[in-house]
Amino acid sequence: MVKAKMREQEGNRKREELLREFWFQVSNIPGGQKIKRCLQCGTCTGSCPVSQTMDLTPREVIALFRAGDMENILKSRTIWICASCYACTVRCPVGIKVTDILYALKRLAMENDLFPSRFPVHALSRSFVTLVNYFGRSYEPGLLILFYLRTNPIKLLGLFPLALKLWRHGRISFIPKRIKRKKDLQAMLKEAEIMEMIIPWELEPVRSH
């Protein structure tokens, strides 16, 4: 009995924390506060080229957020399927930056480990970050290899015919390019990592409008 109650409290606390964290992320987006003005008109969903394959449409994501149900948003496929095409953002009649809100949600889900394991988008992003942090530039073949090793190594074999074709057309380079001042970049990233953390999210960022 007591345990159940504690668990419930724990759940509520977590939920509130997620909401606050999300709210902080959203307020970093120029004009992010506009999310409050959503009309639930569904224009975003109607403009989205991949909404049929989402489990929550973009409009529903905003509705759930307003109902405070962050967990269901973060568990959905929606935020990962979004291809960042900005169609929804351009068309929203009240100027809500739906795409940027979905980015904020992706970050939140990753920070809180709220996604299925071996989940492809997350794995791809991680592989990408590993590479660019090291070389300063991305390297496509390396990216795909890292990605499949993290998700489904067997599939690497299936990639072979395509790789061969690309190679024949001169579209695969074998040497990763790197920047000259790698040390500078890495020092910068370290500092940015600290910066990422120092401002507590209780602090309301000042906006110019």
Nearest to 119 by CA among 77, 69, 160: 77
Q: Which window, 8-16, 36-44, 117-125, 161-169, contacts ligand SF4 (CB under 6 A)?
A: 36-44
| Other CB atoms within 10 Å distance of the CB of residue 111 | 11
Tokens representing residue 194 in the block: 């600290």
Helix/strand/coil for 96:
coil
Question: 38 or 87, CB closer to another protein?
Answer: 87
Q: Which window, 42-50, 108-116, 129-137, 197-205, contacts ligand SF4 (CB under 6 A)?
A: 42-50
What is the footprint of another protein within residues 37-76 (CB under 8 A)?
49-50, 53
Partner touching 23 among another protein, ligand SF4, none, CB below 5 to 8 Å by kind: none
Q: Least distance (Å) from another protein to the CB of residue 119? A: 9
Does residue 115 interact with another protein by CB under 8 A?
A: no
Partner touching 67 among another protein, ligand SF4, none, CB below 5 to 8 Å by kind: none
| Other CB atoms within 10 Å distance of the CB of residue 82 | 24
C-alpha to C-alpha distance for 151 and 119, rounded to whole angstroms? 7
Among 60, 78, 97, 101, binds another protein (CB under 8 A): 97
C-alpha to C-alpha distance for 95 and 131, rounded to whole angstroms? 35
* 150-174 per-residue burial string, b: 16 or more CB within 10 A, e: under 16: bbeeeeeeeeeeeeeeeeeeeeeee
C-alpha to C-alpha distance for 192 and 12, rounded to whole angstroms? 31
Mask of contacts with ligand SF4, 64-103, x by CB under 6 A?
A: ------------------xxxxxxx---xxx-x-xx--x-
Partner touching 43 among another protein, ligand SF4, none, CB below 5 to 8 Å by kind: ligand SF4
Interacting residue ranges for ligand SF4, rule: CB under 6 A: 38-44, 47-48, 50, 58-59, 62, 82-88, 92-94, 96, 98-99, 102
